[in-house]
Structures are given as structure tokens and as C-alpha cells.
Amino acid sequence: MENLGYLLAAYTVIWAVIFGYVLFMQRKQRGLQRQIKRLQESVYKSEIDDK
């Protein structure tokens, strides 16, 4: 079991980076959903104002 630490370190880094990237995309998606909601609200508001 010599060098087990190196093996564990390598696999930990791989999963940490992949999960980090997935989280980054998830955060980006949430931000975009917020922006869509704001746009929908402003469109709705301008429609009411037009009426």
C-alpha cells in the first residue's frame, strides 16, 4: 500500500475539480434564471403601462 496517499490525492482532486465545475455551471444557471425573471417582470410592467 506504498504511495496510497498519492493515489487518493489524485482521485480526490479529479472529483473536486469536476464537482467544482458543475457547481459553477449551476450558479451560472441560477443567475440566468434570475435575469430572465427580471426581464419578464419589466416586459409585463411595460405592457401594463402601455394599456
Partner 1 sequence: MKGKHVLRDNVLLGLGLALMIAALYMVFVYVPTEKHTGIVQRIFYFHVPLAWSSFLAFFVTFIFSILYLWKRATKWDTIAHASAEVGVVFTTLVLITGPIWAKPVWGVWWTWDARLTTSLVLWLTYIAYLLVRSYVTEPARGARFGAVIGIVGFIDVPIVFLTVNLWRTQHPTTIIFEGGLTTPMLMTLLVCVAAFTVLYVLLTIQSANLKSVEADIKQLKSTQAE
Contacts with partner 1 by CB under 8 A lie at: 1-4, 6-7, 9-11, 13-14, 17-18, 21-22, 25, 28-29, 32, 35-36, 39, 42-43
Query: In the bound complex, what is the minimum distance in angstroms from residue 38's beta carbon to partner 1?
Result: 10
The set of cell numbers assigned to 8 is 487518493
Q: What is the CA radius of gyration of the chain?
A: 22
Query: In the bound complex, what is the minimum distance in angstroms from residue 17's beta carbon to partner 1?
Result: 6
The secondary structure of residue 2, as a DSSP letter, is T
Query: In the bound complex, what is the minimum distance in angstroms from residue 2's beta carbon to partner 1?
Result: 6
Q: Please report the sign of the dihedral spanned by the C-alpha atoms of residue 8, residue 10, residue 13, residue 14.
A: negative
